[in-house]
Amino acid sequence: MRRLIGDDNEGGRHQRFVLTLHGGQTLLVAHNIDIAPRVPLGIGDRVRFRGIYEWNELGGVLHWTHHDPHGDGEGGYLRFQRREYS
């Protein structure tokens, strides 16, 4: 993980952080902590993920990194130190 950003508390609460991908590109992650547990990440930690990427004028964001609370779809996850946060 490259950088921790303060939580977004507008509407649903989201843990936010920036990952550096293998090619050097960075990715903002917004993980809904009203639906899934907070991930205890620190700078330099590695995390696996599945979610939905949405482009925006700032470069985009990965979200939906949690189970589907309605049970309609597969949902996403964050995996850190052999534990899944979904």
Give tens-digit pLDDT for 24-69.
889 999 999 999 999 999 999 999 999 999 998 888 999 999 999 9
Rounded average pLDDT over 7-20: 95
Report the pLDDT averaged over residues 10-32: 94
Calculate mean pLDDT across residues 9-13: 93
Q: Are 86 and 77 in contact (CB under 8 A)?
A: yes
Q: Which two tokens stand for residue 11?
A: 């509407």
Q: Could you tell me the residue range of the domain that residue 14 belongs to?
A: 3-85
- Give the Cα separation of 18 and 35 in Å (integer): 20
- Max Cα distance, the chain (Å): 35
pLDDT at 71: 84
CA trace torsion 23, 42, 58, 20 (10° rounding): 0
The count of structural domains within the chain is: 1
